[in-house]
Amino acid sequence: MDLGEKGKFGLEKRTVDSLNCNTTGLTTTEWNQIGSLPCPSASMVDSFGHVIWNQLPANTHNLSFSNAQASASSSTIGKPVPMNWNPSDSLTKGGMFFSTGMGMLPLSLSQFPCDAGFTERAARFSCFSDVAYPFIVPGGSDATAEAQMQKNEAGRIEVLKGRSVLIDQSSNSGSPMKEQREKGPNEFSEPEFSDDAREESPNSSKGVFGINKRKRSDQDMESDQGQAAAQLPFEAAKDVTDNMQKAEKNSSTMANVKPLGKNPKESGEAPKEDYIHVRARRGQATNSHSLAERVRREKISERMKFLQDLVPGCSKVTGKAVMLDEIINYVQSLQRQVEFLSMKLAAVNPSIDFNIEGLLSKDLFQTRTGSSSAIGFTPEMIHQQLHPPHQGLIQVGMPGVMNPSDVFRRALNAQLASTSGFKESTQQMTNAWDEDLHNVVQMTYGNNPPLKTQDLNGAPRDGFPL
Amino acid sequence: MQAADLSFHRSFLKTMFMGLKLGVSSKKMSYQERKRVIKLSANIAMAVAGNGMNWSRALIIRHAKHEKNKVLLRSLLGRKRYESITEPGFPLNFTWQRMIMKRRFRRTNSILRRGAHASNGATARVIARSMAKKRTRTLKSLVPGGESLDDFSLLGETIDYVISLQTQVNLMRLLTEVLSVSNLRKKELDKASREVKC
């Protein structure tokens, strides 16, 4: 997306070509309604052009957007109108102003040299003072504001600082403009601070621009016409900006940032970028520190929620301290359980032949059970499986069948079968294991007569209903 | 959920059995010694299974410091890993100690500062914050390797650690059940064979 590129790559991309794309992207209304405007800041002006510059005086015809002027009187803001200014017109209508000094004619959009020298030249033309000057200032202020806002995205700061003012302007205006265009008409009157990224950032940027514009325009108004013309739009802008003051407060770090789809209020990670885009919430400070803090707090609360699910009995607990208390208690209890179980194992241990354990592990690792939830062993499960076989075996009289691997496997299978319902596979596994168990039994219980192997085969089916 | 990830379980059991086999010599060990070895095996098994996490490495280091464990550890972990973990050149101690010093310094400073403002009366927020801080400190002492972590990663580590602890407890419980049952079986077997003989 263009915006993303602009936001990310800063000046390098915001040279001619990006501006080209930018402005072409804008095309429609804004250009036309800009009326007479200096070229590089035209895109900048676009952002508030249709609010403010609808009634530009006629003596600003020098601008290249002669055709646009014709439709400048039209107050439709968002109506798409084909961009039909062309270089020849600008030249004929006195675009010489531009062409001479600056070579800044928008002969083609690809020729937007946004250098700082333009500001001076533009300022020379008094008729443009009310036009040009305000553009410069917001750019400057905006750059700093943005630099602040985006401090939590470290990678961007250098980019931001490296920009020249004008390019900022154009870029800023570009991105909000594009969004604005997509928004549709009459967005100003009802600034909706919804989740739509596009709405907010243009509003915010406009708010910024508008406010600065108000300040500057009062100082720099040289022509009465300009004043008169400007006042009306300024009042309109004032209303808008009053509404937008809030927008400005809500304005995010995303004025130059690629909007993350439709969820700007959440911080998400753009796939390619390694910093997190954050949008300030309504009524909250947009200080970079507070934003970063908020991100951090949200991350922490996310993890606390996860822990809440982990620790049993914590669903009703709220508050960090109590939750931490519960977590601590749980961890301590788990560690105590480990201690207790190791004690138990130590008590059981001396009579265990560890060859079996080795084989057990081998068998366990060999059998792949496919689907199951985790081996969520519970002692209850084991008891169910073990005790009936236990009785069955005693009746049979050949308890040799029950060896640890068998039990273990059956417990596993039982658990898995209950969860996955793979009874047949467990039966098969049972049979497969029996063959292994021949060797096991003969190795370990070396005294056992071969008869027992028969029982080994038979008993699982009889005594161990799975 | 298909194909649950049993790799943790497998790895744990593998290391656990290996440790039990190597560590427990059935003849001459006292109960306490056996218990210690079993606990060590279980912890190392958990640490090996939970590889890649901060607590895992810290847990192994914690155990590697004791002299008694070295042999078992070396055989359990394999030579390479053991060497890499216990290499003395690692400046962990330095940074760790420095951090501890810094923290103490900061803490005393803040206490002094707070004492100056104490006349305000502690607000609820301050109290809550100190409560949370206190508990964070205990959590740090509980989770291996948690001392040098910040809040956020500490929580991540506790999540992982809690999950592994749960798995460890479950597996050990299962193991005790299995072994105790097989123990019973074996006893009955012996008894039966003895009866047969007689």
Of A299, A339, A373, the CB nearest to B152: A299
Decide: A112 and A170 in contact? Cβ < 8 Å.
yes
**Percent of chain A predicted with pLDDT > 70:** 16
Q: Are residues B11 and B59 in the same domain?
A: yes
Please list, residue by residue across A111-135, b when 16 or more beta carbons sit within 10 angstroms of its beta carbon and e when fewer do: bbebeeebbebbeebebbbbbbbbb
Residue contact A325–B135, C-beta within 8 A: yes
Q: Is the dihedral of CA A36, A39, A44, A47 positive or negative?
A: positive
Contact of B117 with chain A, judged by CB distance below 8 Å, is answered with: no
- Residue A63 CA to residue A72 CA, distance in Å, equals 13
Decide: A36 and A7 in contact? Cβ < 8 Å.
no
- Residue B194 CA to residue B196 CA, distance in Å, equals 5
Decide: A198 and A259 in contact? Cβ < 8 Å.
yes
Q: Are residues B152 and B67 in the same domain?
A: yes
Q: Please determine, for residue A26, whether its predicted confidence score (pLDDT) is greater than 90.
A: no
- Residue A417 CA to residue A381 CA, distance in Å, equals 11
Question: What are the structure tokens assigned to A377, written together?
Answer: 């062993």
Residue B77's CB is within 10 A of a number of other CB atoms, namely 20
- Residue A137 CA to residue A215 CA, distance in Å, equals 10
Q: Are residues B85 and B105 in the same domain?
A: no
**Percent of chain A predicted with pLDDT > 90:** 3
Strands A268-269 and A276-277: antiparallel
Number of residues assigned to chain A: 466
Question: What are the structure tokens assigned to A344, written together?
Answer: 């138990």
Q: What's chain A's average pLDDT?
A: 52
Q: Are residues B15 and B105 in the same domain?
A: no
Which residues fall within 8 angstroms of residue B54, CB to CB, at 6 or more apart? Answer: B145, B149, B153, B157
Q: Are residues B85 and B99 in the same domain?
A: no
> A277 pairs with which residues across the strands?
A268
According to the model, what pLDDT value does residue A64 have?
A: 44
Mean pLDDT of the region A187-216: 43
Pairwise pLDDT comparison (A402 vs B20), residue with the higher score: B20
Residue contact B31–A346, C-beta within 8 A: yes
Pairwise pLDDT comparison (A394 vs A304), residue with the higher score: A304
Contact of B165 with chain A, judged by CB distance below 8 Å, is answered with: yes
Q: Choose among A432, A379, A428: nearest CA to A405.
A: A432
Residue A209's CB is within 10 A of a number of other CB atoms, namely 30
According to the model, what pLDDT value does residue B2 have?
A: 60
- Residue B12 CA to residue A379 CA, distance in Å, equals 19
Of A296, A346, A390, the CB nearest to B38: A346
Contacts of A367 in chain B (CB under 8 A): none
Residue contact A334–B166, C-beta within 8 A: yes
Residue contact A404–B170, C-beta within 8 A: no
Contacts of B132 in chain A (CB under 8 A): 320-321, 324
Q: Are residues B138 and B148 in the same domain?
A: no
- The chain A residue lying nearest B163, using CA atoms, is A310
Q: Choose among A114, A113, A115, A110: nearest CA to A20.
A: A110
Highest mean pLDDT among A99-113, A213-227, B171-185: B171-185
Model pLDDT for residues A149-169, shown as the tens digit of each residue: 444 444 443 444 444 444 444
Question: What are the structure tokens assigned to B115, written together?
Answer: 């004492």
Q: Are residues B125 and B50 in the same domain?
A: no
Gyration radius (Cα) of chain B, Å = 23
Q: Choose among A163, A139, A173, A166: nearest CA to A10.
A: A163
- Residue A60 CA to residue A161 CA, distance in Å, equals 33
- For chain B, positions 48-107, list CB contacts with chain A under 8 A: none
Mean pLDDT by 10 residues, chain B (198 residues): 75 86 76 87 90 87 85 81 71 64 76 61 80 89 86 89 92 87 84 86
According to the model, what pLDDT value does residue A184 have?
A: 42
Of B142, B152, B188, the CB nearest to A296: B152
According to the model, what pLDDT value does residue B72 have?
A: 83
Of B31, B35, B182, the CB nearest to A407: B182
A293: left (phi over 0), alpha (psi -120 to 50) or beta: alpha
- Long-range CB contacts for residues A54-61, cutoff 8 Å, separation at least 24: A54/A233, A55/A229, A55/A232, A55/A233, A56/A131, A56/A229, A57/A127, A57/A223, A57/A225, A57/A226, A57/A229, A59/A127, A59/A223, A59/A225, A60/A35, A60/A36, A60/A127, A60/A128, A60/A131, A61/A36, A61/A93, A61/A94
Q: What's at B37, amino acid-wise? A: V
Size of interface A-B (CB pairs under 8 A): 196
Residue contact B173–A364, C-beta within 8 A: no
For the residues of A311-376, what is the DSSP string, one character each?
STT-TT--SHHHHHHHHHHHHHHHHHHHHHHHHHHHHHGGG--HHHHHHHHHHHHH----S-S---
The Cα of A367 is separated from the nearest Cα of chain B by a number of Å equal to 11
Q: Please determine, for residue A128, whether its predicted confidence score (pLDDT) is greater than 60.
A: no
Q: Are residues B65 and B52 in the same domain?
A: yes
Distances in Å between the Cα of B150 and the Cα atoms of B87, B115, B147 are 25, 25, 8
The Cα of B150 is separated from the nearest Cα of chain A by a number of Å equal to 11
Q: Are residues B22 and B83 in the same domain?
A: yes
Of B39, B178, B181, the CB nearest to A339: B39
- The chain B residue lying nearest A344, using CA atoms, is B176
Contact of B125 with chain A, judged by CB distance below 8 Å, is answered with: no
Residue contact B17–A360, C-beta within 8 A: yes
- Residue A378 CA to residue A133 CA, distance in Å, equals 76
According to the model, what pLDDT value does residue A40 have?
A: 44
Distances in Å between the Cα of A400 and the Cα atoms of A69, A359, A460 are 100, 16, 12
Contacts of B151 in chain A (CB under 8 A): 300
Residue contact B187–A351, C-beta within 8 A: yes
Which residues fall within 8 angstroms of residue A441, CB to CB, at 6 or more apart? Answer: A400, A403, A448, A452, A453, A456
Model pLDDT for residues A29-87, shown as the tens digit of each residue: 444 444 444 444 444 444 444 444 444 444 444 444 444 444 444 444 444 444 444 44
Q: Are residues B116 and B176 in the same domain?
A: no
- Residue A290 CA to residue A293 CA, distance in Å, equals 5
Model pLDDT for residues A334-381, shown as the tens digit of each residue: 999 999 999 988 888 766 655 555 555 555 555 444 434 344 444 444
Residue contact A377–B174, C-beta within 8 A: yes
Residue contact B172–A341, C-beta within 8 A: yes
Number of domains in chain B: 2
- The chain A residue lying nearest B15, using CA atoms, is A361
Residue A75's CB is within 10 A of a number of other CB atoms, namely 12
The Cα of B145 is separated from the nearest Cα of chain A by a number of Å equal to 14
Which residues fall within 8 angstroms of residue B55, CB to CB, at 6 or more apart? Answer: B47, B143, B144, B145, B146, B157, B160, B161
Of B1, B21, B159, the CB nearest to A373: B1
According to the model, what pLDDT value does residue B89 have?
A: 53
Residue contact A321–B43, C-beta within 8 A: no
According to the model, what pLDDT value does residue B26 have?
A: 66
Pairwise pLDDT comparison (A233 vs A293), residue with the higher score: A293
Q: Are residues B56 and B113 in the same domain?
A: no
pLDDT interval class at A333 (50, 70, 90): very high
Query: Which one of B124, B142, B160 terminates a domain?
Result: B142
Highest mean pLDDT among A69-73, A144-148, A242-246, A355-359: A355-359
Report helix, strand and coil shares of chain B as percent, to nearest 5.
80, 0, 20
The Cα of A295 is separated from the nearest Cα of chain B by a number of Å equal to 11
Gyration radius (Cα) of chain A, Å = 37
Of B3, B169, B188, the CB nearest to A341: B169
Decide: A39 and A112 in contact? Cβ < 8 Å.
yes
Q: Are residues B73 and B155 in the same domain?
A: yes
Residue contact B171–A402, C-beta within 8 A: no
pLDDT interval class at A331 (50, 70, 90): very high
Of B159, B176, B177, the CB nearest to A306: B159
Residue contact A325–B21, C-beta within 8 A: no
**Residue B196: is it exposed, middle or buried by C-beta count within 10 angstroms (0-12/13-18/19+)?**
exposed
Of B39, B136, B181, the CB nearest to A338: B39
Contacts of A383 in chain B (CB under 8 A): 177
Residue contact B162–A330, C-beta within 8 A: yes
Which residues span the domain enclosing B120? 95-142
Model pLDDT for residues A248-286, shown as the tens digit of each residue: 444 444 444 444 444 444 444 444 556 767 777 787 778
According to the model, what pLDDT value does residue B121 have?
A: 63
According to the model, what pLDDT value does residue A104 have?
A: 45
Q: Is the dihedral of CA A174, A175, A181, A186 positive or negative?
A: negative
Model pLDDT for residues A405-459, shown as the tens digit of each residue: 554 555 444 444 444 434 444 444 444 444 444 444 444 444 444 444 444 444 4
